[in-house]
Amino acid sequence: MSPQRLLRAVAATACALVLGSTTAAAVSTSPPRDQLRTFVCQKALDPPARAVSVQAVMRPVTGTSKMQMKFDLLRQTQAHPRFAAVHGRGLGSWISPSNPTLGERAADVWIVNHPVVDLSGPATYKFRVSFKWLGAQGQTLSTQAQTSPACYQPELRADLFVKSLSMTAITTGPSAGKTAYTAVIGNRGLTGAGPVEVDFTNGTAAPQPAALAWVGSQSTARQRFVAAACTPGSTLTVTVDPTQSIDEFDYANNALTMTCPAASSG
């Protein structure tokens, strides 16, 4: 988790809703002692623009000398289905009002807006906000906890990968005696990408570059290379986006290496 930064203006894709406190009876006119109000879930292509935010409101109970809050951000992924705490600045520690006397008066209200940005995906996030009231001697008078709704953050970026490499001997035409190498480039992501550089290396020869105009979301494209027939046992490598110029989710699958077979298929 990147350090928490000031939340940008919420984009049009943000969703917001207002929560009612569970600590106040429906027929009561007294304001709740602890409450979560505005919850914002902002989705974006670029992780730094992804955000989740909640507003917590706290009022004193009888005998309060000091109020404290703690914000925990919980994350759930497909690999880890149980919600677990996210580590980051401003998370998991008790905070107090900048005014040390806030909470000593019955009408005091403490409002904290807590945004977290630069969220990874795909993942689901939610806040758990804890409230604590302390007396004049530092004793705990009461504690409460509230949980926000869930915020699903999809991974919207492209994820290019090399799916396969095949070869066919060329027997006619100007390139007779050479081999056609066909690389299948895939994109597992939710956003298309292009132009996409693809490099092919045959043994120790210099990489042969080519470019695909576009690789659509969750689709494949083919890139053909014509080069000398490979030597059995030598290494063939195809690399997509070798300079990592495209904002991708995962660069670890951008290359495929295989051994030249004993006899090329024709």
Q: What DSSP state is assigned to residue 203?
A: T
Q: Report the predicted TM-score, pTM, of the whole model to 2 decimal places.
A: 0.76
DSSP labels, 93-151 = SEE--SSTTTTSSTT--EEEEEEEE---SSEEEEEEEEEEEE-TTS-EEEEEEEEPPPE
The domain total for the chain is: 2
pLDDT at 19: 31
pLDDT of 57 strictly over 70: yes
pLDDT digits (tens, 9 = 90+) for 115-147: 999 999 999 999 999 999 999 999 999 999 999
Residue 8 domain-assigned (yes or no): no
Residue 138 domain-assigned (yes or no): yes
Residues 73 and 182 occupy one common structural domain: no
CA dist., res. 150 & res. 155, Å (int): 16
* Confidence label for 239 from pLDDT (cuts 50, 70 and 90): very high
Asked whether 110 and 24 are in contact (CB, 8 A), the reply is no
Please list, in sequence order, all residues whose beta carbon lies within 8 angstroms of the beta carbon of residue 132, skipping any fewer than 6 positions away: 67, 68, 69, 70, 94, 140, 142, 143
Residues 30 and 79 occupy one common structural domain: yes
Residue 41 domain-assigned (yes or no): yes
Residue 9 domain-assigned (yes or no): no
* Mean pLDDT, the chain, integer: 89
CA dist., res. 200 & res. 258, Å (int): 12
Averaged pLDDT, 212-233: 97
pLDDT of 162 strictly over 70: yes
pLDDT at 201: 98
Residue 264 domain-assigned (yes or no): no
Residue 251 domain-assigned (yes or no): yes
Residues 43 and 124 occupy one common structural domain: yes
Domain extent, residue 50, equals 15-153
Which of 99, 133, 153 is the last residue before a domain boundary?
153
Residues 255 and 166 occupy one common structural domain: yes
Residue 164 domain-assigned (yes or no): yes
* Confidence label for 193 from pLDDT (cuts 50, 70 and 90): very high
Residues 21 and 149 occupy one common structural domain: yes
| Nearest 10 degrees: Cα torsion 27, 30, 33, 38 | 80
Residues 122 and 194 occupy one common structural domain: no
Residues 98 and 203 occupy one common structural domain: no
Q: What DSSP state is assigned to residue 63?
A: T
pLDDT of 77 strictly over 80: yes
CA dist., res. 256 & res. 234, Å (int): 14
Residues 19 and 124 occupy one common structural domain: yes
Residues 212 and 145 occupy one common structural domain: no
Residues 98 and 206 occupy one common structural domain: no
* Confidence label for 12 from pLDDT (cuts 50, 70 and 90): very low
pLDDT digits (tens, 9 = 90+) for 17-46: 333 333 333 445 789 999 999 999 999 999
The domain that holds 174 is classified in CATH as: 2.60.40.10
Report which of residues 84 and 13 the model is more confident about.
84
Which of 121, 153, 185 is the last residue before a domain boundary?
153
Asked whether 169 and 208 are in contact (CB, 8 A), the reply is no
pLDDT at 263: 67
Which of 153, 187, 215 is the last residue before a domain boundary?
153
CA dist., res. 182 & res. 262, Å (int): 18
Report the candidate in 112, 130, 107 with the shortest Cα–Cα distance to residue 56: 112
Residues 25 and 116 occupy one common structural domain: yes
The domain that holds 132 is classified in CATH as: 2.60.40
Phi-psi region of 101 (alpha: psi -120 to 50; beta: other; left: phi over 0): alpha
CA dist., res. 26 & res. 237, Å (int): 67
pLDDT of 158 strictly over 90: yes
Residue 266 domain-assigned (yes or no): no
Averaged pLDDT, 242-248: 96
Residues 237 and 140 occupy one common structural domain: no
